[in-house]
Structure 1
Amino acid sequence: MDQHDGFARPEIRPPDRTLRGTCITRTVDLANPRLIGVWKWNFEEASCRLYAVCVYAPNVLRDAYPLEELQHLKDCVAQQAHKVEKMIDWTRAQLDAAGLNSGEPGRVEPLSADIRTPLASAYVDLFVRADLAIQLLDALWLQGELTDAGHAERTGAMRRAPLSVLGGIQRAHAQCRERIEALYRQRDAGPQ
């Protein structure tokens, strides 16, 4: 019911897009507002697409499942995670060399995620590590050891890491969807 319009009418609900199978709910704390925005706008979509690529597509396509797409997606996650880890290592080295404080996150926001695939878990870890990298970069910048331009460039790169993976997820999902649609068209056309 919509309590604000004064009428007793049922709410129109979106179609049930509940995914079946095992789900692990994980809560993460993020502090960077822009990274939180990336999470809120994109994580649920990415998780659903990862489920489709990693669980649904292999069951439907079987032998025609595009393993190269899945491997490319795993490589994309690993590549972005490596970039984030390199930034964390570089920033910690800079802080240690200058004898500076690593700082603490300001206000954090707990965000919940339903994890249905190992790749979704790796995607969550990427957000957590990117948030830490941004926190360390902020500490370096606040203590005058990083220029404004250097800070903007490096924090922007850390925010783009999850978005790069999202692009890879969308491409893999589109590829699987195309193959599934072709399989169904072939099946509907019948034997020739």
Structure 2
Amino acid sequence: MKSIWHIILPFVAFILSIGIVSANPNRPYITESSIQEQLEFVINQSSRWEQYRMVPERWLNQLNTNTLDTLNYKNNRIRTLNSTISGQKSEIEQLSKELNDTREKLAQAERARDAFSLVGISMHKRFFLSLVIFTMTGILLLAGFIFLLYKKNLETISKTKDELNHLKDDFEEYRQKARKKQEDLVVQHHREIQKLKGMG
């Protein structure tokens, strides 16, 4: 009899332990929780036997369905986000292209604003201003040089006129002297001729 109790007693203890530890399969499953919380629920609420867990099939099916639904939702969300990212990338590329075009137009506008065309030659305004200043300085220097040259020429002309007048005066004086001398010579010749005629 003792041997029967050895067999029955562990069997009864096993059945009782299953009844005590086993999960309540009628307990409602937490469908609205996250997958992590559902896994913890299944692990914590399932019954144990040695190193195994006994999970009601309804819970496993619900966990499987919820996991697949979550994965499908996440995959759809990933596809949607990838599509959005692709759209945004193309929009960014378009905006970058427009930005580069705008920058190029701005650079052209700045070059056009700073450029000046003279006799069909395009040049930068600073260069043009430098050229104008250089030209004006050259003209002023040339005008100053011409003025000084003119003034010197006036002085030379005035000096030359004075010298000419002096020469005229000297010449007139010389001419007067020469005429007087010639007249004196003519008179002297005439006297000499008269003397010679009177002697003869």
Report TM bin, short chain.
under 0.3
Larger helix proportion, structure 1 or 2? 2
Q: Which has the larger radius of gyration?
A: 2
- Structure number with the bigger relative contact order (C-alpha 8 A, sep ≥ 6) is 1
Could you tell me the TM-score, scaled by structure 1's length?
0.23
Could you tell me the TM-score, scaled by structure 2's length?
0.23
